Amino acid sequence: MASADLELQGAIVARLKAYQPIIDIVGTRPGYGTKVFDKPPADAGEPYVSVDGGQSLRRDAECIDGQEIYISIHAWSIYSGGFMEVKQMTDAVVQAVHQHPFSLATNRLVSISHRQTRTMRDADGTTSHAVIEFVAFVERL
């Protein structure tokens, strides 16, 4: 039986890598495919999407072994015209993940919802960065 948050992360990464609106923005990289990373290589080259840390909380109920899982996905861009590209990436990520019926091997996704998005300019003054947060409820089969 696999970790619920690990299974969910794998399903999300697979969906993002195959989702055409994301491919259209971030492109591909030889050896990696679509530029969606768990751990981006040092020379990833913007734009790209990365799945960052999260949090898992027990949410058991009578006869249910459940978890509430928080997932953070980051979008990175150095588009010279401002936030446009990173906001397009954010919208594509939300459309790909929000309320998607992910199928998990040893767990059951009850729901997944977009919670919030924060967009910012990084300290280098060039990189636009968005943090896209989701919450999922999963129960063990």
Average pLDDT for 44-59:
93
pTM of the full structure = 0.95
Is beta strand 107-121 parallel, antiparallel or unpaired with respect to 128-140? antiparallel
Enclosing domain of residue 122: 4-140
Share of the chain above pLDDT 90, in %: 88
Which residues are CB-contacts of 118 (< 8 A; sequence separation ≥ 6)? 130, 131
Q: Could you tell me the two tokens for 70? A: 């928080």
| Overall average pLDDT of the 45-73 stretch | 91
What CATH number does residue 83 fall under? Answer: 3.30.2000.30
Q: What is the pLDDT of residue 107?
A: 95
Q: Is the pLDDT at 9 greater than 90, yes or no?
A: yes
- Structure tokens, 76: 């990175």
Convert the pLDDT of each residue in 26-38 to its tens digit.
Answer: 999 998 899 999 9
In the chain, the number of structural domains is: 1
- The mean of the pLDDT values for the chain is 95
pLDDT range class, residue 1, cuts 50, 70, 90: low
pLDDT range class, residue 2, cuts 50, 70, 90: confident
Give the DSSP H or E segment for 136. strand 128-140
